Amino acid sequence: MWNRATDTEESFRDRAIALSAAIVMAGAIGIGVYYRYYSQPQEPVNTPEVRPPPAPKANTEPSIQHPLPQSAPSAVETALPALNDSDQLVHDSLAGLLGPKPVAQFLVPENIVRHIVVTIDNLPRKKVAVELRPIKPTPGQTITATQGDITTLSAENYVRYAPLVRLVQSTDVKTFATVYVRLYPLFQQAYEDLGYPGKYFNDRLVEAIDELLRTPEMPGPIALVQPKVFYEFADPSLEGRPAGQKLLLRMGPANARAIKAKLREFRAEIVNRK
């Protein structure tokens, strides 16, 4: 018997979508902003006044484990848009690049870069802040299968994620990574604003990707329990995994393999290879 469970903030309906585009959509967002801004003249940079050396301060420069590759020099260098003022232009640029339908279907149009950063930061943790996701909830309700006293996540549930997975599979990772490198200061600023001065966002992104790639593949049905209001994995070793891994598990093995393949490609592009 199929059951259609009611979805809420902590249920399966909203949480699996946060992963699929959070990593790759960063590049997509970058493409839109890049083509809008990199044809504009750069604002002049004022030469700072020479002053006596200040008293020594604590080092707040990021300690870098995974430096970004050097981007090719641009014929016209320009200033990036202000982080707090970029949403409408990012949305419009993405609509022009990917089409208005996918953008309207998937993207939450407010605080785009900040929401991507906080979602990526949360993926290796126990919970994802679903109210800060950059992607809209998956349509429909979670589908479970019940046989006797055993409830499992139905394979029919995985079909709900097919449109987004197809979008991720169609992405040009090299282009996304190139633009991500060029627009990196926006992501770094959002990460530092999140409370990580002296930390390097690309390190956290690589860490999140590596954690996701360690997600086990579950070929058979995944048993669920409902101790109170929300569903949980019946297997404590699955329920105790990081939020990002549980998101992949809930999407189903085929979808997870597709996402992992893109993550491997993206990781290879954003880590400096000497």
Q: What's the order of all strands across the beta sheet hosting 150-153?
A: 2-5, 142-147, 150-153, 222-225, 232-233
pLDDT of residue 229: 80
* Collapsed DSSP state (helix, strand, coil) of residue 7: coil
Angle at alpha carbon of residue 198, lines to 26 and 213, rounded to 5°: 45
pLDDT in the model for residue 53: 46
Which two tokens mark 83? 């982080």
pLDDT one digit per residue (tens) for the chain, 274 residues: 444 444 433 443 334 334 333 444 443 433 333 333 333 333 333 434 444 444 444 455 667 899 998 765 544 456 778 899 877 766 776 666 566 787 787 778 788 888 889 999 999 998 877 666 667 776 667 788 999 899 999 988 889 888 889 988 888 888 778 777 777 888 999 999 999 999 999 999 999 999 999 999 998 899 999 888 888 999 999 999 999 999 899 999 999 999 999 999 999 999 976 5
What DSSP string runs through 97-139? HH-HHHHHHHB--SSHHHHHHHHHHHTTSS---GGG-SBPPPS
Sign of the torsion formed by the C-alpha atoms of 252, 258, 260 and 263: negative
pTM: 0.74
Q: How far apart are CA 91 and CA 29, in angstroms?
A: 8
In the structure encoding, which two tokens stand for residue 216, read together?
A: 């086990």
- How many CB atoms sit inside 10 A of residue 88's CB? 10
In 3-state terms, what secondary structure has residue 65?
coil
Q: Tokens for 211?
A: 């954690």
pLDDT at 185: 87
Give the Cα separation of 210 and 245 in Å (integer): 10
CB 223 within 8 A of CB 233: yes
Q: How far apart are CA 93 and CA 77, in angstroms?
A: 19
Distance CA 216, CA 179 (A): 31
